Amino acid sequence: MRKRILVTGGSGFIGSHLCARLLEEGCEVLCADNFFTGRKENVVPLLHNPYFELLRHDITFPLYVEVDEIYNLACPASPIHYQFDPVQTTKTSVHGAINMLGLAKRIKAKILQASTSEVYGDPVEHPQRESYWGNVNPIGPRACYDEGKRCAETLFFDYHRQHRLRIKVARIFNTYGPNMALNDGRVVSNFIVQALQGKPITVYGDGSQTRSFCYVDDLVDGLVRLMGSGDEFTGPVNLGNPGEFTILELARKVISMTGSRSEVVFEPLPHDDPMQRKPDIGLAEGVLGWRPSVPLERGLVKTVDYFRRMLAV
Ligand code: NAD
Ligand code: UDP
Ligand code: UDP
């Protein structure tokens, strides 16, 4: 029998790649999405597959379906989008987690949460290990996302302890690749779109802050391995590429790769913007046998190709 899998947020950037991968593996996939930041275009290529089903649904409301596994990815991930309606962002993380955990409890499904490196906030420990508790401002403009995701982790572990749910928690670090929206607003897509359009590249602050960028295929592989790991392994586990770059380095790479004549302009650093971020992936390597294989340059080539096609139509 085909495994039946629910992917919430399945029409978003990461979700659409995950749905495609699960279908390739012969699973039956139910994608639930309210299309807040996701795009139908991301899953149009999957619609012809009889084992793929697309459901317009907001996970802050209950959902009654029957599946074997749940990947809970629903939540806007880009600062401009999660700060657009911060109350809805917290509801999505918290009410959404309660509903998906309640669903998993009723149908005895295994459930994976897409958590985030944002749970570490502006980290004092570098690189970040899973044992680090983080440095998060609970009342700032990023809190709706960071604290929402932290509370979701709490709920996952309480359902695990209290109701013996089989849970998996992935702490995802900055991920990029095809299927990001043109207006996504995160740094990789912004820089590429600006470079291809010959517009100024907007570096926030002086560009010395760092991030570690993971190509989406690597990330999806990590999520699938995590779901397949033994029941005793709950995570949280970091999934990301440990290669660390300053934002200014990223801007220069994108300019040279696209052959763009765009200039770099400096804009104010957003409030509470973390200064550095780099995953320690020792746990994922040890338990899941996972490590990313796509270096930044190679992933950027594929992402630039994708945005070129997007801008051409
Ligand atoms: P995305 O914005 O492209 O995808 C999120 C999807 O969730 C969208 O399709 C959106 O429409 C949907 N959604 C939002 N609120 C919903 C709701 N209430 N009900 C149903 N659907 C809803 O972002 P992404 O980059 O694909 O992120 C996917 C998940 O991974 C998110 O949970 C995000 O927090 C997490 N994550 C992503 C990154 C990254 O770098 N991409 C890093 C850390 C964590
Ligand atoms: N829920 C859901 N689908 C289900 C079962 C539950 O969406 O198949 C939601 C329901 O809204 C409920 C929440 O999950 O409020 C939490 O469920 P749980 O059983 O943990 O708690 P309770 O029902 O007691 O509130
Ligand atoms: N950033 C930037 N220019 C942009 C978008 C983002 O300099 O056009 C910076 C942002 O201030 C942050 C980093 O790039 O320091 C990563 O931002 P992003 O929104 O991609 O993700 P974050 O890791 O902050 O959630």
Q: What does residue 211 show for φ and ψ, rounded to 5 degrees?
A: -145, 160
Q: Give the SS3 label for residue 236.
A: coil
Q: Which two tokens stand for residue 92?
A: 């999505």
Candidate from 41, 44, 75 with most ligand 1 atoms within 8 A of CB, to mutate:
75
- Give, using CA atoms, the residue closest to atom 13 of ligand 3: 187
Q: Give 232 Cα–ligand 3 centroid separation in angstroms.
A: 36
C-alpha 75 – ligand 1 centre gap (Å): 4
- Beta strand 264-267 with 214-215 is unpaired
Residue 313: pLDDT band with limits 50, 70, 90? confident
Q: Is the CB of 211 under 6 A from ligand 3?
A: yes
pTM greater than the 0.85 cutoff: yes
Please give the average per-residue pLDDT across 278-298, as a whole number. 98
145 tagged catalytic? yes
Each residue of 98-137: pLDDT tens digit? 999 999 999 999 999 999 999 999 999 999 999 999 999 9
Question: How many A from CA of 261 to the centre of ligand 1?
Answer: 32
Q: Determine which one of 71, 120, 145, 215 is catalytic.
A: 145
Residue 64's CATH number? 3.40.50.720
Ligand located closest to 116 CA:
1
Q: How far is CA 184 from the centre of its chain?
A: 12
Indicate which ligand has the atom closest to the C-alpha of 121: 3
- State if residue 116 touches ligand 1 by the CB under 6 angstroms criterion: yes
Residue 255 lies in a domain: no
Question: Cα dist. 226→22, 40, 237, 263 in Å?
Answer: 13, 27, 9, 41
Which tens digits make up the pLDDT trace of 80-99? 999 999 999 999 999 999 99
pLDDT by residue (tens digit) across 132-166? 999 999 999 999 999 999 999 999 999 999 999 99
Domains: count for the chain: 1
Is 307 part of a structural domain of the chain?
no
Quickly state the pLDDT bin for 292 (edges 50, 70, 90): very high
Closest CA to 11 of 26, 24, 29: 29
Confidence at residue 79, expressed as pLDDT on a 0 to 100 scale: 95
Mean of per-residue pLDDT scores for the chain: 97
Please name which ligand lies nearest the alpha carbon of 165: 2
Query: Average pLDDT in the 198-207 region?
Result: 98
pLDDT the model gives residue 200: 98
Q: What is the mean pLDDT of residues 271-275?
A: 93
On whether residue 309 sits in a domain, the answer given is no
Mutation pick for ligand 2 pocket among 106, 111, 158, 165 (CB with most ligand atoms within 8 Å):
106
Residue with CA at minimum distance from ligand 2 atom 5: 103
Asked whether residue 1 carries a pLDDT value surpassing 90, the answer given is no
Atom 6, ligand 3: residue with shortest CA distance? 187
pLDDT band at 72 (very low <50, low <70, confident <90, very high): very high
Per residue in 225-253, pLDDT (tens digit) is 999 999 999 999 999 999 999 999 999 99
Domain of 101, in residue numbers: 4-176+215-240+278-292
C-alpha distances in Å from residue 146, one per residue of 26, 152, 179, 253: 34, 10, 24, 29
Q: Is the CB of 65 under 6 A from ligand 2?
A: no
Burial class (CB in 10 A: 0-12, 13-18, 19+), 246: middle
Answer whether residue 207 is part of any domain: no
- Rounded Cα distance between 305 and 300, Å, is 8
Q: Does 42 fall in a domain?
A: yes
Residue 151 lies in a domain: yes
96 CB near ligand 1 (under 6 Å): yes
Assess if residue 206 is contained within a domain.
no
Neighbours of 65 (CB within 10 A): 15
Grouping H, G, I as helix, E, B as strand and the rest as coil, residue 31 is strand
User: What is the pLDDT, as a whole number, of residue 162?
Assistant: 98
Q: Is residue 198 in contact with ligand 2, taking CB distance under 6 Å?
A: no
Structural domain contains residue 166: yes
